[in-house]
């Protein structure tokens, strides 16, 4: 039964109840001056999905125009959520990070996977991969120009989406050295779904640890990170990575983030690590330490 219904077990768009009925307007006041708007795009297979696009409206006029045209340009952040709830309740947390950034224009695009919030379809790994690529394509057409810096930020299972997209982007662009590699923010990440089964169920007599061959959702960040190992001469233009872990994570063992950090180091990436004191799995960037670490990382790009 666990194998048959794994998509329903892994992806929980309706938990807590009424998550799919959430509205951006509910969170407008607490997010100000970060303003969010919903955009609708077609995924690669035609499924309609929703995006939440946010920017600081205080960064407008001549000041913003000057900075966009300057050598630093905009920073465009694609955000990939965890496996439950929807985007609107996350907007205050994401807005708090954007409020701490005032040196240049930042645009954050939060991707609502198929089956989540107002997006159509049903969630699956293959479907979410298509959604992620479609969101990146839309962001490139809408916002990216030669001076734009791209960041892929994923939380929990979203970190697997981010590493997948980084690997996909690498195959098309980075391997030809035609563009700066996207930076990565991996918040409370795990190595893979299979590694989580082994970590959570170490007892050999339990059946769950043996479900690996039957998985249709694997989210293998190890494979993705190995595929984007940095081979640039003299380490120039290395991919920047921030790994954020929660000290009291009740879902993902700390060894998972340790392994992710090690993979990034072995791959020649410029990796930094933040452990957020007292934070549970979903609290890493709600707390000041985590929020400040993300903001500082973005400022250094």
In a domain, 281, yes or no: yes
Q: Model confidence at 62, in pLDDT bands (50, 70, 90)?
A: very low
Beta bridge partners of 54: 36, 108
**Residue 243: per-residue pLDDT:** 99
Least confident segment among 137-151, 197-211, 279-293:
197-211
**170 in a domain, yes or no?**
yes
Percent of the chain scoring above 70 in pLDDT: 87
Q: How far apart are CA 50 and CA 232, in angstroms?
A: 36
Q: What is the CATH number of the domain that holds 59?
A: 3.40.50.1820
pLDDT at 232: 56
What does the pLDDT read at residue 27? Answer: 98
Q: What is the DSSP letter of 36?
A: E
Out of 28-32, 87-91, 143-147, 171-175, pick the least confident. 171-175
Mean pLDDT on 27-36: 97
d(CA 179, CA 197): 37
Residues above pLDDT 90, as percent of the chain: 72
R_g of the chain computed on alpha carbons = 19
Q: For residue 270, is it within any domain?
A: yes
Cα–Cα distance, 112 to 157 (Å, whole number): 13
- Number of domains the chain is built from: 1
Instruction: Show the beta-strand stretches assigned E in the chain.
Output: 34-42, 48-56, 75-80, 106-112, 149-155, 183-187, 240-246, 270-276
Q: Is the pLDDT of residue 237 over 80?
A: no
209 inside domain: yes
Q: Is 187 domain-assigned? A: yes
HSE toward the beta carbon, residue 67, CA cutoff 13 A: 13
The domain containing residue 15 runs over which residues?
A: 6-299
Contacts for 254 with CB less than 8 Å, ≥ 6 apart: 245
Pick from 62-66, 212-216, 238-242 the range whose average pLDDT is largest: 238-242
Q: Report the predicted TM-score, pTM, of the whole model to 2 decimal places.
A: 0.92
pLDDT for res 44: 98
Cα torsion angle, 293, 295, 298, 300, sign: negative
Predicted local distance difference test score (pLDDT) of residue 5 = 61
**SS3 call for 276:** strand
Residue 71 maps to a domain: yes
Residues whose CB falls within 8 Å of the CB of residue 26, separated by 6 or more in sequence, listed in order: 88
Please give the mean pLDDT across all residues of the chain. 89
Tens of pLDDT along 219-235?
A: 999 999 999 986 554 55
Position 145 scores a pLDDT of 83
Do 288 and 257 form a contact (C-beta atoms < 8 A)?
Answer: no
Residue 95 — very low, low, confident or very high, per pLDDT cuts 50/70/90? very high
Give yes or no for residue 212 having a pLDDT over 80.
no
| Residue 196 token pair | 């989580």
Report if residue 1 sits inside a domain. no
What are 36-55's pLDDT values in tens digits?
999 999 999 999 999 999 99
The residue to which tokens 């039964």 are assigned:
1
pLDDT value for 69: 47
Exposed (0-12), middle (13-18) or buried (19+): which is 238, by Cβ within 10 Å?
middle
Collect all residues with Cβ–Cβ distance below 8 Å to 283 and sequence separation of at least 6: 246, 276, 290
Higher-confidence residue: 26 or 175? 26
**Is 164 inside any structural domain?**
yes
Phi, psi values for residue 274, rounded to 5°: -130, 130
> In terms of Cα–Cα distance, which of 115, 113, 73, 297 is closest to 219?
113
Residue-wise pLDDT for 249-291, tens only, equals: 999 999 999 999 999 999 999 999 999 999 999 999 999 999 9
Q: State how beta strands 149-155 and 240-246 pair.
A: unpaired
């Amino acid at each position: 039964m666990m194998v048959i219904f794994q998509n329903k077990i892994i992806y929980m768009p309706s938990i807590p109840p009424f998550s799919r009925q959430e509205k951006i307007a509910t969170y407008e006041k607490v997010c100000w001056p970060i303003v969010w708007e919903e955009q609708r795009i077609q995924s690669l297979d035609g499924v309609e999905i929703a995006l939440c696009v946010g920017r600081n409206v205080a960064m407008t006029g001549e000041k913003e125009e000057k900075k966009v045209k300057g050598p630093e340009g905009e920073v465009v952040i694609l955000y990939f959520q965890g496996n439950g709830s929807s985007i609107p309740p996350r907007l205050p947390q994401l807005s708090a990070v954007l409020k701490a950034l005032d040196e240049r224009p930042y645009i954050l695009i939060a991707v609502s996977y198929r089956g989540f919030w107002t997006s159509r379809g049903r969630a699956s790994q293959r479907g979410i991969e298509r959604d992620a690529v479609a969101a990146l394509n839309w962001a490139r057409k809408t916002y990216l120009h030669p001076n734009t810096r791209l960041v892929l930020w994923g939380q929990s299972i979203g970190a697997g989406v981010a590493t997948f997209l980084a690997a996909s982007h690498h195959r098309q662009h980075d391997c030809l050295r035609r563009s700066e590699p996207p930076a990565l923010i991996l918040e409370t990440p795990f190595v893979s779904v299979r590694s989580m089964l082994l970590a959570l169920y170490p007892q050999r007599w339990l059946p769950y640890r043996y479900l690996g061959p039957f998985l249709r959702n694997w989210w293998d960040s190890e494979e993705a990170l190995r595929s984007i190992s940095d081979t640039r001469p003299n380490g120039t233009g290395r991919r920047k990575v921030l790994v954020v872990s929660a000290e009291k994570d009740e879902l993902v063992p700390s060894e998972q983030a340790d392994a992710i950090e090690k993979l990034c180091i072995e791959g020649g990436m410029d990796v930094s690590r933040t452990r957020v004191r007292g934070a549970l799995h979903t609290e890493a960037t709600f707390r000041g330490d985590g929020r400040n670490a993300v903001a500082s990382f973005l400022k250094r790009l």
